[in-house]
Structure 1
Amino acid sequence: MNRPSDPPSKPWYREPWPWFLISLPAAAVVGGIATVWIAATNADGLVVGDYYKAGLAINQVLARDEEARRLDLRATLQTEDGSLALSLGGRLAMHPERLTLVLAHPTRAGMDQTLVLHHAGAGRYRTALPALPAGKWHAQLSDDTRAWRLSGVVYSPFTRPADLGAGVTSTAQGD
C-alpha cells in the first residue's frame, strides 16, 4: 500500500529516536557501574568502627579542653625559615620539652600526620615542615601527658599564622 508519493521508509536503526530512547537507560547503567566501582575501590574514612566507645571518650576530650581553658593556653602556628614554628602562651608552670601536633585531614584518615615539636626556649617550639597537600586540616596540640588540648583549623600551605585554642575552630586561610 505504498503510494508513489510516500518517501521510502528507513530501517529502525537509521532513525535517531530509537537511539535516543536507548541512550537514557544505557547512561543509567554506565553511571551505576561507575558508582559501584568507586564505592568498591575507595574506603569510607568517615565511619567509626566502634561509635559507642568513641561517644564515651568525648567526656575525656572535653575535660582536656577545660584544662586548657583553666590554664588560659593559646598557640600560634606559622612557618619560619622552612620549618613549622609554634608559640605557646598561658599560665603554665613549666613549658613541656615537646608537644604533639596532629594534623588530621577532614575526609582522608590515611593522610593524617603526627608531628613532634621540640622546645626552643621562651614558649617557642619547632619541627620540620611536612609536605602536605593544599587544603583544610584539623589541628590538635597536646602535651605528652595529654592533660590539655588545643585545637583549630589550619590551611596548607601555611602562608598565614593560625591560632589554636581550647575547643576553638579558628580559620586562618592560605592563599
Structure 2
Amino acid sequence: MSQPNSAAPWYKQPWLWFILAPLIATFLYSTVYISAAIFTRDTLVRDDYVKHAKEIKQDNSKIQAAADLGVKAILKIDSLTGDISVELSSDGGTQKPENMTLDLVHATLADRDIAVSLRRVRDGLYLGSIDHKPLGKQYVILQPEDGSWQIRQSIFPPYDDTPFELIPLKTN
C-alpha cells in the first residue's frame, strides 16, 4: 500500500508567497512614505505673496520701484574664497544705500538659502562673503536695508567669477 502525499506546511507553499509578496511590499512602502510625511517639514517658498480672499497674487511694487529708479546691478560670486561683489548703478542720480542685503534662495530647499549683508566700499561697489558656495539654481533677491526697492532674478551655475546682470523687470 502506498502512503498518501503529505501536504507541506502553509509557509512552504509557493502560491501563498506569490500572493502575499505584493501585499507585504505595499505595506512596507506605505509605512516608509507615511512616516516621511509625518516626520518631515514642508519648507515655504520665499517671496512677496499675499493671500487676498481666495486669490493669491504677487506684490511687485518693490520691483516696479527699482525699475522706476533705473537700478541695475552686476553680481560676481567667487566660489573659492566666498567673496561676493555687487556693482550697483542707476539711471537717475539716485543715492546709493550704505548697506544692502542679498538673499540667495534655493529653488526647493530652505536649508540651502544664504543671506548676505553687503557693505558699500566705494560709490556703487558692495562687498560681502559667504561660508559655502551656492549649489544649483538660485533666486537672487537684492534690496537695500530699508526695503524700498528690490531686484529679483534667477541665476544658474557655474558661479565662479561669472558676472550676472541683475535688472528689475518692469511690470504692468
Give TM-score, length-normalised by structure 2: 0.76
1-side partners of 2:29 and 2:156: how far apart? 34
CA RMSD for the aligned pairs?
3.2
Query: Cα–Cα, structure 1 residues 158 and 130, in superposed 2: closer, same or farther, change >3 Å?
Result: farther
1:150 corresponds to: 151
3-state SS of 1:17 partner: helix
Q: Which has the higher contact order (CA 8 A, sep 6+)?
A: 2
Query: Cα–Cα, structure 1 residues 23 and 133, in superposed 2: closer, same or farther, change >3 Å?
Result: farther
**Structure 2, unaligned stretches of length 5 or more?**
none
Deviation at 1:132, TM superposition (A): 4.3
Q: Between Structure 1 and Structure 2, which shows a larger proportion of helix residues?
A: 1
> Which deviations, in whole Å up to 9, do the C-alpha atoms of 1:68-87 show, x marking residues without a partner?
11122221211248211111
Q: How does 1:42-81 map to 2 (within 5 A)?
A: 42-46=40-44, 52=51, 58-59=58-59, 62-80=60-78
2:135 corresponds to: 134
Asked if 1:34 is matched to 2:32, the reply is yes
Aligned length: 162
> Which deviations, in whole Å up to 9, do the C-alpha atoms of 1:105-145 show, x marking residues without a partner?
22233443321111122411110133145222211001122
Asked if 1:165 is matched to 2:163, the reply is no
2-side partners of 1:90 and 1:18: how far apart? 76
2-side partners of 1:33 and 1:133: how far apart? 34
8 Å contact from structure 2 (residues 102, 142) kept in 1: yes
Give TM-score, length-normalised by structure 1: 0.75
